[in-house]
Structures are given as C-alpha cells and as structure tokens.
Amino acid sequence: MTQAIKTNKKILILIGVIISSFLVEGYLYLLNHPPLSWTENSSNDDNTTVTVNIQNDGLTSVEIIDVFVNGTNVTKSAELGISYSGKIVQIKDEPEYNVVFVSNFEEHVIYPTDSIYEAIHKNEPTSYGIRIIHHEPIGTIKIKYKYLGLSWEFIKNI
C-alpha cells in the first residue's frame, strides 16, 4: 500500500509541475506580446491636440484605466474615439467617418477586431483612438489598461 501512495504522490507532483509550467509559459507569452498596439497618430501644429490610434491584438477586451500626458493624469479630459466605418480616428469630428467620441472609459472597452469587413457588416467598431487636448505640447503619452485581469502600461513618445 505504501508503494501505491508513493506512486500516486509522484504522479500528482508531475501533474503539478506540468500545470505550473503551462501557467508560467502563458504568463511569459503575455509579457512578450502585449495586446494593445499603436497603429498611428495625428496632431495639430503645436502638438497640444493628439489622437493616437490603438488596436487590440489580444483575445478579449481591453479596459482603459488611465491616460497620462507628460506625467500628468488626463483621463477625465481624454476621449475614446470609436470608428464604425473602417477609417481611422482623426483629430476633427468628420461626419462621414462615422466616429463616436466618448469621455467615459469605464463604460467602453476596446474589443479585438479580426476583420474590418465583418465588423462593418455587423455594425461593430472597426478602430479606436484616444483624443487628447492638452494645455502644453504633448511629448509622452502613457496608457494604463487591464487585460485578462492584469494591469499593463503602454508608453509612446510623440
């Protein structure tokens, strides 16, 4: 009977090691492949108004937590632009672009988009952008977000 218990213990330890290695590999993969990517940006002449176009390359939605400009939290004044037309989000509101700007990040998440054509057909968002209007030239933008329950940061120098 003790031989059977030793064998069962070894099997349980082996299963624990295999599951742990899968979890570590999954975490390392996520660290090396962040879901939020920067596609492009546009700005005015003095760089006080910037729109950054972002894309969710992950498997599930991304929730924006905070937006910082030059180290200052501007989450309350930043706007999330959601395009339904396949066109990128611009600085100006262009009616033919079918872009909606919202200032409440808590109620809107960034969904992954596999196919722009399918999204247009289903009337789902095709692209996202964050519009920031600041009182001084924008040098650095930092976006804090959540994905799969983990907190992430995305920093871009303009």
pLDDT at 26: 81
- Cα(85)–Cα(65) distance, integer angstroms: 26
| Residue 1, pLDDT above cutoff 60 | no
pLDDT at 41: 82
pLDDT at 92: 67
- The domain that holds 113 is classified in CATH as 2.60.40
Calculate mean pLDDT across residues 113-132: 83
Q: How many structural domains compose the chain?
A: 2
Could you tell me if 88 and 44 lie in one domain? yes
Residue 14 in tokens: 């082996």
- Cα(22)–Cα(69) distance, integer angstroms: 37
| Residue 20, pLDDT above cutoff 60 | yes
Query: For tokens 């969710």, what's the residue?
Result: 56
Calculate mean pLDDT across residues 129-156: 90
Query: For tokens 């660290």, what's the residue?
Result: 31
- Cα(69)–Cα(59) distance, integer angstroms: 28
- Cα(74)–Cα(68) distance, integer angstroms: 5
pLDDT at 157: 87
**Which domain covers residue 152, as residue numbers?**
35-157
pLDDT at 137: 92
- 23-81 pLDDT, tens digit per residue, is 888 878 877 778 888 888 888 888 888 889 999 988 889 999 999 999 989 888 898 98
Could you tell me if 82 and 49 lie in one domain? yes
Given a contact cutoff of 8 angstroms between Cβ atoms, the answer to whether 120 and 85 are in contact is: yes
Could you tell me if 56 and 93 lie in one domain? yes
DSSP string, 9-48: HHHHHHHHHHHHHHHHHHHHHHHHS-SEEEEEEEE-TTSS
pLDDT at 33: 79
Could you tell me if 132 and 71 lie in one domain? yes
Given a contact cutoff of 8 angstroms between Cβ atoms, the answer to whether 141 and 70 are in contact is: no
**Count, residues in the chain:** 158
- 76-121 pLDDT, tens digit per residue, is 889 898 888 877 787 666 666 667 778 778 778 888 877 777 877 7
Could you tell me if 19 and 55 lie in one domain? no
